[in-house]
């Protein structure tokens, strides 16, 4: 039942059947959300005991004897820096602990470039026609930060090995190109992990702009969905080998390890950039929340603790991904109306529907009570040039609701395809 080879009368009949099923869904008044990569209630419950580990009877001092209730320690507790360093595979002395949002640290780092510049270059605000590379489909909030700061956003195609490195190497010859957004492991939304070759080519970049930076947001570094995790080469080590140590900023957080609404963010930078950012933070803040750091260190303890926690997340998340993939397979396979990724980690499944149909699919789903990420959101300026990509976030709804939502989603994909084909 390939839509492309179906005679029009049959397609018309299929369309009517789909429409009937769609209307049936409308009658159910669903209210489901597959829009954002939000952990579910069951996942949040996994970290609740953390809240009990810092209380009025417990020690409130750090391992270095700092009173975590009081001012001080602007770069974060030594034990917290060490823990995040292990996760990010960078030296602890290059780590800065932030508040609860790594996005905030990325924003602040771009803001630092805007007003103070990097590597002694002029502030970005004074450099006209500045550009930022955006591997797409990618993370809308990344693109949003550089859009807010007035960069021209350049779409770099995503391949199965990561961003198209030929395109990246070509673009960095332009001195007005100041950086690139990357989610190197289980990328948002494709689920792809950058290949060793991709990481090596990143580390070996010789950009025309001395103030070009890779924003390496390793948001899903330990967020495996299988027991055979994909391996990401360490960009830090590769940059060291290339003596290119100030080429990248590294970001991570515990948002999807403990609590998105009360986690710990961290970043790392090469020595020169670290000094610049350390100076900035000395003016910007009296230091991040140290009691929350204490909570996290006591709860997660070390890399073994993090992996054990992630295994518990996996037990909840993996069946949801399986449910989504099974629905896509059983409802859409062989119909030439969509293709999709089968990620081994992260929070998303990326679905490419028939060209020119993504907006319509999202609209149809919304009309029957299922909210999806806005079509186009995964591209710069929210504009998918082929109107094709939809990011599915299976984490939040319970499995049963997810299956319902996916039934509707698959109907809408076919409806939009049939509409298009019938019009042509």
Contact residues: a second copy, CB under 8 A: 36, 38-39, 41, 44, 47-49, 51-52, 54-56, 60, 67-73, 99-101, 103-104, 107-108, 111, 114-115, 123, 125-126, 141, 144-145, 148-149, 255, 259-262, 280, 283-292
- In the complex with a second copy, the residue whose CB is nearer, 280 or 371, is 280
Smallest gap from Cβ 270 to a second copy, in A, equals 21
Please report how close the Cβ of residue 386 comes to a second copy at its closest, in angstroms.
Answer: 26
Nearer to a second copy by Cβ, of 19 and 262: the residue is 262
Maximal CA-CA distance, the chain: 78
Whole-number minimum distance, CB 172 to a second copy, in Å?
24
Q: Judged by CB, which is closer to a second copy: 192, or 316? A: 316
| For a second copy, the closer CB: 98 or 207 | 98
> In this complex, which beta carbon is closest to a second copy, that of residue 162 or of residue 287?
287
Q: What is the distance between the alpha carbons of residues 95 and 249, in angstroms, rounded to a whole number?
A: 10
Q: CB of residue 59 vs a second copy: minimum separation in angstroms? A: 11
Residue placing its CB nearer to a second copy in the complex, 69 or 386: 69
**What is the 3 state secondary structure string of the chain?**
CCHHHCCHHHHHHHHHHHHHHHHHHHCCCCCEEECCCCCCHHHHHCCHHHHHCCCCCCCCECCCCCECCCCCCCCCCHHHHHHHHHHHCCCHHHEEECCCCHHHHHHHHHHHHHHHCCCCCCCHHHCCCCEEEEEECCCHHHHHHHHHCCCEEEEEEEECCEECHHHHHHHCCCCCEEEEEECCCCCCCCCCCCCHHHHHHHHCCCCCCCCCEEEEECCCCCCECCCCCCCCCCHHHHHHHCCCCCCEEEEEECCCCCCCCCCCEEEEECHHHHHHHHHHHHHHCCCCCHHHHHHHHHHHCCHHHHHHHHHHHHHHHHHHHHHHHHHHHHHHCCCCCEEECCCCECCCEEEEECCCCHHHHHHHHHHCCEEECCCCCCCHHHCCCCCCEEEECCCCCCHHHHHHHHHHHHHHHHHHHHHHHHHC
Nearest approach in angstroms of CB 336 to a second copy is 36
Report, in Å, the least distance between residue 116 CB and a second copy: 8
Judged by beta carbon, residue 229 or residue 260, the one nearer a second copy is 260
State which residue, 70 or 333, has the beta carbon closest to a second copy. 70
What is the rounded CA–CA span in Å between residue 146 and residue 152? 8
Give whichever of 261 and 385 is closer to a second copy, judged by the CB atom: 261
**Smallest separation, CB 159 to a second copy (Å):** 28
- Tell me the closest approach of the beta carbon of residue 208 to a second copy, in angstroms: 24
- Strands 131-136 vs 152-159: parallel, antiparallel or unpaired: parallel
Q: Could you tell me the smallest distance in angstroms from the CB atom of residue 30 to a second copy?
A: 19
């Amino acid at each position: 039942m390939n839509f492309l080879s179906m005679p029009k009368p049959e397609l018309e009949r299929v369309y009517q059947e789909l429409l009937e099923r769609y209307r049936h869904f409308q009658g159910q008044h669903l209210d489901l959300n597959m829009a954002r990569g939000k952990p579910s209630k069951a996942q949040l419950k996994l970290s609740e005991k953390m809240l009990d580990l810092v209380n009025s009877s417990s020690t409130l001092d750090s391992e270095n004897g700092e009173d975590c209730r009081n001012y001080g320690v602007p770069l974060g507790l030594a034990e917290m820096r060490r823990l995040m360093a292990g996760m990010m595979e960078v030296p602890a002395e290059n780590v800065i602990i932030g508040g609860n949002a790594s996005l905030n640290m990325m924003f602040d780092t771009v803001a630092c470039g805007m007003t103070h510049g990097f590597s002694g270059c002029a502030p970005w605000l004074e450099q006209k026609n500045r550009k930022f590379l955006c591997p797409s489909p990618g993370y809308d909030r990344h693109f949003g930060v550089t859009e807010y700061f007035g960069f021209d956003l350049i779409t770099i195609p995503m391949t199965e090995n990561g961003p198209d490195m030929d395109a990246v190497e070509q673009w960095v010859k332009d001195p007005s190109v100041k950086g690139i957004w990357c989610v190197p492991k289980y990328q948002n939304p494709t689920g792809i992990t950058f290949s060793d070759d991709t990481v090596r080519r990143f580390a070996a970049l010789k950009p025309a702009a001395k103030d070009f930076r890779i924003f390496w947001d390793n948001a899903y570094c330990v967020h495996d969905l299988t027991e055979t995790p994909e391996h990401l080469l360490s960009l830090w080590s590769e940059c060291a080998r290339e003596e290119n140590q100030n080429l990248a900023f590294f970001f991570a957080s515990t948002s999807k390890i403990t609590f998105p609404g009360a986690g710990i963010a961290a970043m790392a930078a090469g020595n020169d950039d670290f000094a610049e950012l350390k100076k900035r933070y000395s003016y910007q803040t009296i230091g991040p929340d140290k009691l929350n750091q204490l909570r996290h260190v006591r709860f997660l303890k070390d890399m073994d603790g993090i992996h054990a926690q992630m295994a518990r997340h996996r037990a909840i998340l993996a069946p949801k991904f399986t449910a989504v993939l099974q629905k896509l397979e059983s409802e859409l396979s062989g119909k030439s109306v969509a293709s999709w990724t089968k990620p081994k980690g992260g929070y998303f499944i990326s679905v490419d529907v028939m060209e020119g149909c993504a907006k319509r699919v999202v609209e149809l789903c919304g009309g029957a009570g299922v909210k999806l990420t806005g079509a186009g959101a995964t591209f710069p300026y929210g504009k998918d040039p082929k109107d094709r990509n939809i990011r599915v976030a299976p984490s939040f709804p319970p499995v049963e609701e997810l299956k319902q939502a996916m039934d509707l989603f698959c109907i809408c994909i076919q409806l939009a395809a049939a509409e298009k084909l019938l019009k042509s």
